[in-house]
Structure 1
Amino acid sequence: MDIKHLITFKTIAQLGSFTKASQVLNYSQSTLTIHIQTIEKELDGRVFDRIGRHIAITALGNELLPLAAAIITNYEEIETLKRPHDSGNQTITLGMQESVALYRLQPLIRRFQQTHPQVTLIQVLGHKSELTEKLLASELDAMFVMQRRDEQAQLPAVELVEEKMGIVGNHSSLHSLTDLAAETTVFIYPKNDCSYRNIFDKYLGGYVTKQTNLIEALSIEAIKNNILLHHGVSVLPYSTVASEIASRQLRFFELDLTEKDKISTQFLYHKKKWLSPLLHEFTFFVEKELRS
């Protein structure tokens, strides 16, 4: 097997699909199949199970993945030494929380790719705990999350922009914070591992103890839909509800957070993983745009 076989394997494992990997790598699916068959022949075992149209990585595949990621990282570092000023034909694999990907980075990614058309940027969406595991296993080049400033001690972090946090409610039913005491108020909990769940508990917990109508939502879109449909209340970053506030669907009451509670969008990386010049360039671009 050679490096392109390992890149194919890593990409399929991350995307969970031969079809998506074919589009990203610009290979035919038959070529991808040959790459995987070559790996499986040399290892004398399967790295993926095919179940109808779906695939699942095997135990052998899970053993290979971090090793393949490390080899690919070393290969990319060597390639950069050969052509240090060329940022074309490279791939960046970034982990992102839904909140960061949808509401902060998408427009920036589109602008970056307009000036870097040869760069493939793979976005892996997930919860922070899942992304952290992938970054520590070298399956990601870096990750972007919203979290408290001192929350991720095991990974170095660069703060990009502070997030304005507030209590969010339906525009037609939450006219002031005194409305929170109404018996009909529906409180929408962020998921337990959400970075600002503690803010919800701290600033709305006193009201929640008196209520029986509670909903735990798994995503920001689910929280917003519940607020609109059930006249619920939650805590969210302003960046995730700006359009609904502008259209007078939602109201936003900014919270005066303590330094310890403040949330920011951050860039996290593995201190032992090499960061390519292209990744540095992308991160600098994102930081500049978010702070402008």
Structure 2
Amino acid sequence: MDIKQLKAFVTVATLNSFTRAAGQLGYVQSSITSQVQLLEKELGVSLFERLGKKISLTAEGEEFLMHARQMINLWERAKGSVSASELPKGKLIVGAHESICTFFLPEILHEYNRRYPDVQLAIKMGSWCDFESALRENQIDVAILIDRSLSVPEFVVDKERSAPFAFLTSSEHPLAGKEHVYAEDVAEYPLLMTGEGCSWRALFQRALENTGASLQLMSEGGSIQTLKCLSAFGLGVTLLPLFAVEDEVRSNQLKKLNFRGLDLNLLIQVVYHKDKWVSSALAAFLEICKEKW
């Protein structure tokens, strides 16, 4: 049994595919199949059931998966312990929401790359739903989230800062001139909403759920830039983080509504798994996040 066999097994189990596992690990499929077969032979059990082109973990495979992940984490810790004095190197995979990638991450990555050019950086965009499983499966090293305060024992929140949100419209919109705006007011107009799984979509829905009105959903799942443009042209009301619309609010392209009735704040949080070996590359990234924020 070696670490390549364990990684091959865990990756196949995570992706539920030998082909996708081969692509992620950079091997040909026959090599991944061979590594898993050697592992099964040594253990004396079948780890996967193979029914046609579909695979699934056996009961023994489910049991062994937990131990395999622990062994990989232990191996990473052992490897890191003998190279902790070296400059960061290797690969660092960062998961982040689109808004973080657009407005915060470039400065952090630029500084990181300047200081530690031997580290290969990889960025995965997604939502907390994506990153929760990716952190557990060791597919990413660290995630930067926009969400409510995280209270999951498995994860360490290394850094957090407030992220105020606001309902926004064009400056000519009927709501733009109101001194105070309530959920019932917002519900009267077309809504420009983010996609399923987005943390502030839930915030959006909580703000409007008690209106009793039939909500007019005009756009769903657009990027921040798309939602800003649609709203600036007076086509509806949207909810976005204020850091993403500072220029538009300053230039009066978008009007921040004085919304009453719900705290429109989330947190930006830098998160990693509690069992994750904090390598020199990850430690350096966490430090730069603290410096910049």
Q: TM-score, normalised by structure 2?
A: 0.70
Pick the aligned partner of 2:32 from 30, 33, 36: 36
Map of 2:132 onto structure 1: 132
Shift of 1:202: 5.2
Shift of 1:127: 2.3
Map of 1:288 onto structure 2: 291
Map of 1:122 onto structure 2: 122
Map of 1:242 onto structure 2: 246
Greater C-alpha radius of gyration: 2
| Alignment-mate amino acid for residue 178 of structure 1 | K
Q: Provide the rounded CA distance (Å) in 1 between the counterparts of 2:82 and 2:186.
A: 66
Pick the aligned partner of 2:56 from 16, 36, 59: 59
Map of 1:169 onto structure 2: 169
Q: Provide the rounded CA distance (Å) in 2 between the counterparts of 1:186 and 1:263.
A: 24
Q: Provide the rounded CA distance (Å) in 1 between the counterparts of 2:152 and 2:290.
A: 21
Please identify, of 160-169 and 192-201, the stretch whose mean Cα deviation from structure 2 is larger: 192-201
Three-state SS of the structure 1 residue aligned to 2:162 is: strand
Deviations 1:257-285, CA, capped at 9 Å, x for gaps? 97x76311002222233322321221121
Map of 1:232 onto structure 2: 236
Please identify, of 78-87 and 191-200, the stretch whose mean Cα deviation from structure 2 is larger: 191-200
Shift of 1:218: 2.8
| Count of aligned pairs | 275
Map of 2:92 onto structure 1: 92
Change (3 A) 1:164 1:183: closer
The 5 A counterparts of 1:134-213 are 134-149=134-149, 151-154=150-153, 155-173=155-173, 176=176, 178=178, 181=185, 185-191=189-195, 193-201=197-205, 203-204=207-208, 209-210=212-213, 212-213=215-216
Shift of 1:192: 5.6
Three-state SS of the structure 1 residue aligned to 2:117 is: coil
Shift of 1:210: 4.4
CA contact (8 A) 2:22 2:32 kept: no
Change (3 A) 1:163 1:10: same
Deviations 1:77-120, CA, capped at 9 Å, x for gaps? 21222222224432223332333233322331232122212112
Q: Provide the rounded CA distance (Å) in 2 between the counterparts of 1:238 and 1:211.
A: 27
Change (3 A) 1:38 1:239: farther
| Alignment-mate amino acid for residue 166 of structure 1 | A
Q: Provide the rounded CA distance (Å) in 1 between the counterparts of 2:213 and 2:284.
A: 50
Q: Provide the rounded CA distance (Å) in 2 between the counterparts of 1:145 and 1:243.
A: 23
Q: Provide the rounded CA distance (Å) in 2 between the counterparts of 1:132 and 1:211.
A: 33
1:268 and 2:271 matched:
yes
CA contact (8 A) 2:193 2:238 kept: yes
CA contact (8 A) 1:93 1:142 kept: yes
Q: Provide the rounded CA distance (Å) in 2 between the counterparts of 1:118 and 1:160.
A: 27
Map of 1:223 onto structure 2: 227
| Alignment-mate amino acid for residue 151 of structure 2 | Q
Change (3 A) 1:69 1:99: farther
Stretches of structure 1 that go unaligned for 5 or more consecutive residues are none
Stretches of structure 2 that go unaligned for 5 or more consecutive residues are 41-45
